[in-house]
Amino acid sequence: MSETVVRSGAPVRPLAPADADPPAVRLTHVSKWFENGGRRQTVLDDIGLTVRRGEFVCVLGASGCGKSTLLNLVAGLDAPSTGAIEVPGGRRPALMFQDHALFPWLTAGRNVELALRLRGVPRRERPERARHLLELVRLKDAHGKRVHELSGGMRQRVALARALAQDGDVLLMDEPFAALDAITRDVLHEELTRIWSEKDLSVVFVTHNVREAVRLGQRVVLLSSRPGRVAREWSAADAPEAALAGVVTDALREEIRRHGRR
């Protein structure tokens, strides 16, 4: 029987009754603040967000609005100051960062095997599973190559394979393609969309790139400037991609201007 992981801060307002089909992630009245020199700095304020199973959600916002903090909370790397984060299914979400963070002294295959090892996969099964995951990200021939032999795009593919090795139902991605050139980024967008469909994952993808958010997301959620709040959200079905990108860009610019007037 699956369990639900709930990470809470105090005080916690009661959660709404569970739906017949539990979501992949639910944040209820989540706030996060840090103490700095005796002063409280609020990063996220009263966030309410539900990600459905199998949904691809892009979280968009200006730098410093709390996007990465939001992912860290969902991943369990930090706890909310108030509110509750519910992750039905019991498996910890997988997290992929902007920096590939691969171990340079290991091969691509060994980097993926390390994630399998930490998950408790028996040693004899790891090489074959790592090969399968590298094939999934179209790196069939990279198993024995070290990090310095790989291009930037290939390194991010290995990082994606390693994240998938964590076998989470939810994949959290923190601006994973931001440092790549436009052509490589477009290719990886296509690959990510394919893998998301094949693996039936729920994805929460953080970015500051409107085009990327509109292209990838079934839903785009805009966070306000600090403190981060859910300002607006759009469905990909709301408008054609180009038109939606214009609407979202205008909303993002307004948030940036509003922050600048403070």
pLDDT given for residue 4 in this prediction: 44
Residue range 214-223: average pLDDT?
Answer: 95
Residue range 117-137: average pLDDT?
Answer: 92
Give 35's pLDDT tier (boundaries 50, 70, 90).
confident
| Tens-digit pLDDT profile for residues 187-206 | 999 999 999 998 889 999 99
**Region of poorest pLDDT, from 36-40, 45-49, 81-85, 131-135:** 36-40
Residue range 73-83: average pLDDT?
Answer: 94
pLDDT given for residue 18 in this prediction: 43
Question: Using H for helix, E for strand and C for coil, what is the string for the chain?
Answer: CCCEEEEECCCCCCCCCCCCCCCCEEEEEEEEEEEECCEEEEEEEEEEEEECCCCEEEEECCCCCCHHHHHHHHHCCCCCCEEEEEEECCCCCEEECCCCCCCCCCEHHHHHHHHHHHCCCCHHHHHHHHHHHHHHCCCCCCCCCEHHHCCHHHHHHHHHHHHHHCCCCEEEEECCCCCCCHHHHHHHHHHHHHHHHHHCCEEEEEECCHHHHHHHCCEEEEECCCCECEEEEEEHHHCCHHHHHHHHHHHHHHHHHHHHCC
Average predicted confidence (pLDDT) for the chain: 87
Residue range 93-122: average pLDDT?
Answer: 90
pTM, to two decimals = 0.87
pLDDT given for residue 5 in this prediction: 45
* All domains in the chain, ordered by first residue: 23-93+202-262 (3.40.50.300)
Give 9's pLDDT tier (boundaries 50, 70, 90).
low
Residue range 83-102: average pLDDT?
Answer: 86
pLDDT given for residue 179 in this prediction: 86
| Tens-digit pLDDT profile for residues 165-176 | 988 899 999 999
pLDDT above 70 covers a percentage of the chain that reads 90
| Tens-digit pLDDT profile for residues 146-158 | 989 999 899 999 9
Instruction: Check pLDDT > 50 for residue 86.
Output: yes
Instruction: Check pLDDT > 60 for residue 23.
Output: yes
